[in-house]
Amino acid sequence: MECATLFSGSSGNCIYVGTGNTKVLVDAGSSGKRIMQALDSINIDIKEIQALLVTHEHIDHIKGLGVLSRRYDIPIYASPKTWQELTCIGKIAEYNQKEFDYGLEIGDLKVDFFKTSHDAIQPVGMVFYHREDQVGIATDTGCITSGMKKALAGANAIFFEANHDEEMLVKGPYPFHLKKRISGDKGHLSNHTAGEALKDMITGNTQHVILSHLSEVNNTPEAAYHSVANTLAQADILDKIALTVAPRYQTHSLIKIKRL
């Protein structure tokens, strides 16, 4: 398996997951043109993408969804309630309107879903399986559930939210109601919370952890990395994985899962 963020953050989110035979995108939160350019940078042709999977309906996750589906005849997969909120993406061919279901298979990828806690109608995280390999994705959640930990534990690559530095959020320019939303149970994870949660998810199978969906105002890549790295180092985990931060506007280097 291979994977990479194309963009990550409130400006737009898109993650590529693929095998030799199957290639999909999780979210499409930028323009179709920028998504195609980002795919080109990792030598993937948009015409190879076989599915678009949606975590939730916020614009930074769906901006390019409609145009990509119409232009390249790509199926869109979303939860039933999320589909009710996707009228803003324009008309989608009925045969390309797919709902998530347990046991979902797309090509040689199997997909499982789990609930996240966010102020969206029916937000989800995902785990992709190919043979013995697993890639897990959890962003846009204000708290960690036991189901989330169970789903992500031991994945070879984990894309995990580290949205804000708690002190930067408190002292930052956002109005109080927005600070409360971000730090609440249906908001976003802090660097500290992310690090503590990852301690319980990383196993001997885990090779990569990619900190994702960083706030541009209330975080920095350096703050996120050092906070999580310190937590994992204290747990004697850091030297066992590759810890990186997803760039906001650029594509993360392509990650290839190694057979253990």
How far, in Å, CA of 78 to CA of 87, rounded? 13
CB environment 78-105: b (16+ within 10 A), e (fewer): bbeebbebbeebeebeeeeebebeeebe
Question: By the 8 A CB rule, do 79 and 99 touch?
Answer: yes
Which CATH number, 3.30.70.100, 3.60.15.10, 2.40.50.140, 3.20.20.70, labels domain 2-248? 3.60.15.10
Question: Structure pTM?
Answer: 0.96
How far, in Å, CA of 155 to CA of 55, rounded? 18
Question: By the 8 A CB rule, do 151 and 167 touch?
Answer: no
C-alpha distances (whole Å) from 86 to each of 79, 81, 132, 213 are: 11, 9, 34, 21
Question: What region, left, alpha or beta, does residue 90 occupy, with left being phi > 0 and alpha being psi -120 to 50 degrees?
Answer: left
How far, in Å, CA of 253 to CA of 115, rounded? 28
Going residue by residue through the chain, which has 260 residues, state the pLDDT in tens, using 9 for 90 and above: 999 999 999 999 999 999 999 999 999 999 999 999 999 999 999 999 999 999 999 999 999 999 999 999 999 999 999 999 999 999 999 999 999 988 899 999 999 999 999 999 999 999 999 999 999 999 999 999 889 999 999 899 999 999 999 999 999 999 999 999 999 999 999 999 999 999 999 999 999 999 999 999 999 999 999 999 999 999 999 999 999 999 999 999 999 998 76
Domain residue ranges of the chain, discontinuous segments joined by +: 2-248
